A = this chain, B = another copy of it.
Amino acid sequence: MQTLNVELGDRRYPIHIGRGLLAQAALILPHLKRKQVAIVTNTTVAPLYLEKLAQPLRDAGVAVISIVLPDGEAYKNSATLNLIYDALLENRCERSTTLIALGGGVVGDLTGYAAATYLRGVPFVQVPTTLLSQVDSSVGGKTGINHPLGKNMIGAFYQPQLVLADIDTLHTLPERELAAGLAEVIKYGLIRDLPFFEWLEAHIDKLTALDTDAMRYAIYRSCENKAEVVAADERESGERALLNLGHTFGHAIENGMGYGVWLHGEAVAAGTMMAADLSRRMGWLSDAEVARMDAIFRAARLPLEPPGLGADRYLDLMGLDKKVLDGKIRLVLQQGIGRSVVSSDYDVAALRATLESPLHG
């Protein structure tokens, strides 16, 4: 087991990474205010891991409530959130009850947001079971739900007490989901860590084969990168925006196609290549660098061809994004591999060209 501490002043919290962590109640017990937890999970994860997590807690004298939600991004909404509130109230959960999110990013975002807002805030623990949530959504305190008019429009910044990233859970992950998680891993190399990108180029096949040592290192280094960014900029006023590489384009793809058609990580990968294409058109990125990016995403088995929605539809979808500043869309672009920048200083004609025909300009 490796442990990384996210430094957020009085809200410092540890991320443990390793095998079999799910069943180690001793890791969770010191963080409980009282011996009552509500485990929030979904119908896919529950049969695989709910009892593995719950039974050792019960054996340690913890009262365990479980809340099983429907599975999927389409359920990351206020109706599902209300299912959590209802269960917590019906079970008379109090301010000292700890919520535990067991599942992927959707479960984590919903549970974290419920924890942030139930009784104006209760403690919570993240037990992410997908690669994407282990390297991304469980670090940094972003929680929230979607709205019919936009993704993640309602939410809160709220930090967990503890994150348990159990590598064993990745063995039950569908291949598409593993690839989507690798897209976020690769992102950390692209935005700020060239040596990690080079390590990934050398080890991408081990990661797709779920080699334990390679995977633990990739998760640790990803979390380390994200933790550094988040600790420096908790409220996303500056550097944290770099983490959104590929996300403005990616959200437009997800939203334009209907949530759930593309996985988030798939959309981010395709969106990152759109950002690369725009960067190349502006002379910030060489053809060779674009080719390296293309190659590693393909080796990770990610789809890179964005849907042809047309530039006008893309611009409309991107206009609703949170990363808008005074009406002007800011984008995360590449100035070489390992160096992303946030910029609104780009050529609009080049942007339209990218949106009309990415990778073909």
Contacts and interface: CB of A to CB of B under 8 A. Distances in A.
A152 B92 CA distance: 14
A154 B118 contact: yes
B149 A120 contact: no
A56 interface: no
B119 A153 contact: yes
B85 A154 contact: yes
Contact of A120 (B92, B155, B320, B325): B155
A344 interface: no
A153 B320 contact: no
Nearest to A113: B117
A27 to B, nearest CB: 23
Given A117-B154, A120-B144, A326-B34, A149 B94 contact: no
Interface size class of A (residues with CB under 8 A): 35 or more
A95 B149 contact: no
A153 B117 CA distance: 8
Given A90-B149, A149-B90, A326 B155 contact: no
Contact of A319 (B92, B142, B155, B325): B92
A336 interface: no
11 contacts: A85-B147, A85-B154, A94-B322, A94-B325, A96-B325, A117-B154, A118-B154, A120-B142, A120-B155, A120-B157, A121-B156
Interface string A128-163: 000000000000001010010110111111000000
B147 A89 contact: yes
A291 interface: no
A82 interface: yes
B325 A153 contact: no
A324 interface: yes
A95 B96 CA distance: 32
A118 B78 contact: no
A96 B326 contact: yes
A249 B78 CA distance: 31
Given A119-B322, A120-B144, 6 more contacts: A89-B153, A92-B324, A94-B324, A94-B326, A96-B326, A117-B117
